[in-house]
């Protein structure tokens, strides 16, 4: 549980997750990235390595995707990678500026959502928003969940979204 694991360093966990996402989907092999994306899109939780921090050693680190709130037709790898790129750009900017990550905790579900790091994309006038959360429901597993959330709850006045 999150509240039972004070040794989890949120910053290091987010940095580790960002590196995994970048190398797995953006800077590595596009063919391999598409294969992994397909697994995620089919609802699979995929193991991408192990993480150690504090008293946690070699915890399986997994990825999951929830695109149930993606708006519009044609959810595919290009939409996913554009949203991921935007989210990772926000993550990097937040770290450089030492901004608050707006961490929302849900102790009942052992989940931590990062509210300050949305990935915003627009395509043909339709906006979609990707966010990341970390789930600690099945210790020692840590699951980084990428989720598209209903875009109507956000203001996009200062977003860096672009037409993708």
Structural contact between residues 164 and 130, judged by C-beta atoms closer than 8 angstroms: no
Per-domain residue ranges for the chain? 10-153
Bond into 127 cis (ω within 30): no
CA–CA gap between residue 84 and residue 147 (Å, rounded): 10
Let me know: does 110 contact 95? Beta carbons within 8 Å.
Answer: no
Reading the chain (164 residues) residue by residue, the pLDDT tens digits are 344 444 677 888 889 999 999 999 999 899 999 999 999 999 999 999 998 877 778 889 999 999 999 998 889 999 999 999 999 998 888 888 888 777 777 766 577 777 667 888 887 788 999 999 988 876 778 999 999 998 888 765 444 444 44
Q: At what angle are helices 77-96 and 10-21 packed, to 10 degrees?
A: 140
For residue 33, what pLDDT is reported? 97
Which residue reads 């966010």 in tokens?
131
* The model's pTM: 0.84
Which DSSP helix (H) or strand (E) runs through 81? helix 77-96
Q: Which residue has the tokens 């339709």?
A: 126
């Amino acid at each position: 549980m999150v509240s039972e694991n004070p040794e989890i360093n949120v910053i290091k966990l987010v940095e580790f997750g960002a590196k995994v996402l970048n190398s797995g989907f953006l800077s590595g092999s596009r063919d391999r990235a598409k294969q992994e994306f397909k697994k995620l899109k089919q609802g699979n939780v995929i193991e991408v390595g192990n993480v150690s921090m504090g008293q946690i050693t070699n915890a399986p680190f997994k990825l999951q995707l929830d695109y149930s709130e993606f708006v519009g037709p044609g959810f595919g790898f290009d939409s996913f990678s554009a949203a991921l790129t935007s989210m990772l750009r926000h993550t990097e900017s937040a770290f450089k500026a030492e901004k608050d990550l707006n961490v929302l905790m849900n102790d009942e579900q052992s989940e931590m959502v990062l509210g300050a790091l949305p990935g915003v994309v627009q395509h043909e006038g339709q906006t979609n928003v990707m966010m990341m959360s970390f789930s600690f429901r099945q210790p020692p597993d840590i699951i980084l969940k990428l989720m598209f959330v209903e875009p109507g709850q956000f203001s996009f006045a200062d977003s860096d979204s672009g037409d993708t």
